[in-house]
Amino acid sequence: MNPAKRIQTLPPYLFAEVDKKVAKAKSKGKDIINLSIGDPDLPTPKPVVEKLYEAAKNPDTHHYPSYVGMKDLRLEISNRMKKRFNADFSEDEICVLIGSKEGIAHLPLGIINPGDYGIYPDPGYPVYRTSIMFAGGKPVQMPLKQENKFLPDMDELNKKIKFLSLGKGKTKLMFLNYPNNPTSATIDLKFLKEVVEFAIENEILICYDNAYSEMTFDNYVAPTIFEIKEARETAIEIFSFSKTYNMTGWRIGFAVGKSENLNLLKKVKENFDSGVFNAIQIAAIEALRSKDVESEVRKNMKIFEERRNVVCEKLEEFGAEFEKPKATFYIWVKVNKEKFKVTEESPSMKFCDKAIEKGVVLTPGVGFGEYGEGFVRIAITQSRERITEGIERIKEIF
Ligand SMILES: Cc1ncc(COP(=O)(O)O)c(C=O)c1O
């Protein structure tokens, strides 16, 4: 069978390459410490799991769910948006997702016509670029550079968009993600305002991916884009239960936005999927409602904060170049290019190959895009002991 062009034109999936190398090392009996996965090692809070047991036993939950999500869950999300962000969204302005990845992947189909442009951050979560391409759009690279604290250069972007608007396509969509994967950069309201003004001026829908909204340290509180009043006109925001509640395997998240914008996504979803298992949605209500869960989340964030401190102390000791993250469970570290000369292979890949030889898996920055080259991502999703051992093992590469 001849694969479709959209599959053929995909860039090589570097993470699969890394997996192969890991499998090879494991087959030789090597003890591997995996610091590459964005999947928390901690369990889902007990009250949420128990709610799932209970709900799954009730046959009423066994039918097709609602396309947009259970009303009770959407009401609970509406309350959470008010309480956490002072943002007003009715239950009709909320749509439950099968994980935030699903919403990200489907949204471009609702707004991009073949030939239109979609902006994606580079480095960034790879699904942004792919989903623009799958919708027939042309991905527009938005570099996140170290000298700009991994925020986009809005003057540069403005020029790019003005130039593109001279052609046939129109720029319709922009993905933006803070707290950021993979750089762990955070954003302030001044910058968000600038982005919102840019989007309004150019009639672009922003898809603000806030998957790490609650995964913050040192008293940093991540904002919603809707703290900028005008964002309501030009943005939808996507949240996830995966990282906050250690629920990556459950596949549940949600999108928020005024009906006119959110309907772009709802229309696609109505035709492609049939929602999230009702018992999981009932458990998600528990995650949002329960005080015990709230305190467990706070405790978990302290655990990640401590792990971050341990890794950052070690990296400082080794003289590595990095910014101590205020959010996410990633540390974005510069690769010493003098040591890892750019030959036919990328320095970040080469660094990760050396780490695998030492029994440690890291993610090469280039896997997140061209501008990720020269960096590696360390995920603190293992126990403190394993992380410490892992970092010690790769000391000499630093
Ligand atoms: C920036 C970002 N957005 C979205 C997701 C997808 O999360 P999920 O589909 O589990 O909600 C991830 C997962 O790693 C991510 O890093």
User: Ligand 1 centroid to 65 CA: how many Å?
Assistant: 23
Strand order in the sheet with 330-334: 330-334, 375-379, 363-364
Shared-domain flag, residues 9 and 111: no
Q: What is the pLDDT of residue 340?
A: 63
User: Ligand 1 centroid to 29 CA: how many Å?
Assistant: 31
Shared-domain flag, residues 91 and 177: yes
In 166-319, which ranges are E strands? Answer: 171-177, 205-209, 235-240, 253-256
Q: What is the pLDDT of residue 342?
A: 53
Please give the torsion angle defined by the CA atoms of residues 270, 271, 274 and 276, in that order, rounded to the nearest 10 degrees.
Answer: -60
Ligand 1: residue of 96, 98, 101, 209 to mutate (most ligand atoms within 8 A of CB) is: 101
388 is a domain residue: yes
Phi/psi of residue 241, nearest 5 degrees: -85, -15
CA distance 116 to 214: 33
User: For the chain, first and last CA: distance in Å?
Assistant: 46
Please report the atom of ligand 1 found closest to the CA of residue 101. Answer: 9
- Predicted TM-score (pTM) of this structure: 0.96
User: Ligand 1 centroid to 379 CA: how many Å?
Assistant: 14
Closest residue by CA, ligand 1 atom 3:
211
Shared-domain flag, residues 182 and 106: yes
Q: Which domain holds residue 302?
A: 5-43+294-393
All residue ranges of the chain with pLDDT < 50 are: none
Please report the atom of ligand 1 found closest to the CA of residue 124. Answer: 1
Report pLDDT digits (tens) over 255-309.
999 999 999 999 999 999 999 999 999 999 999 999 999 999 999 999 999 999 9
Shared-domain flag, residues 115 and 190: yes
Token pair listed for 283: 């458990």
Three-class secondary structure of residue 348 per DSSP: helix
User: Ligand 1 centroid to 101 CA: how many Å?
Assistant: 6
Phi/psi of residue 66, nearest 5 degrees: -70, 150
Shared-domain flag, residues 276 and 299: no
Shared-domain flag, residues 173 and 300: no
398 is a domain residue: no
User: Ligand 1 centroid to 330 CA: how many Å?
Assistant: 13
Q: What is the pLDDT of residue 271?
A: 97
Domain of residue 360, CATH code: 3.90.1150.10
Domain end point (choices 252, 267, 290):
290
CA distance 50 to 32: 33
Report pLDDT digits (tens) over 315-324.
999 999 999 9
Q: What residues are in contact with ligand 1 under a 6 Å CB criterion?
A: 38, 99-101, 125, 177, 181, 209, 211, 240, 242, 248, 253
Phi/psi of residue 238, nearest 5 degrees: -120, 130
Shared-domain flag, residues 88 and 35: no
66 is a domain residue: yes
User: Ligand 1 centroid to 211 CA: how many Å?
Assistant: 6
Q: Are strands 375-379 and 330-334 parallel, antiparallel or unpaired?
A: antiparallel
CA distance 216 to 211: 11
CA distance 180 to 177: 5
Domain of residue 103, CATH code: 3.40.640.10
Domain end point (choices 256, 290, 324):
290
Q: What is the pLDDT of residue 344?
A: 53
User: Ligand 1 centroid to 253 CA: how many Å?
Assistant: 9
Please report the atom of ligand 1 found closest to the CA of residue 240. Answer: 11
90 is a domain residue: yes
Q: What is the pLDDT of residue 10?
A: 82
Closest CA to 181 of 123, 251, 100, 127: 123
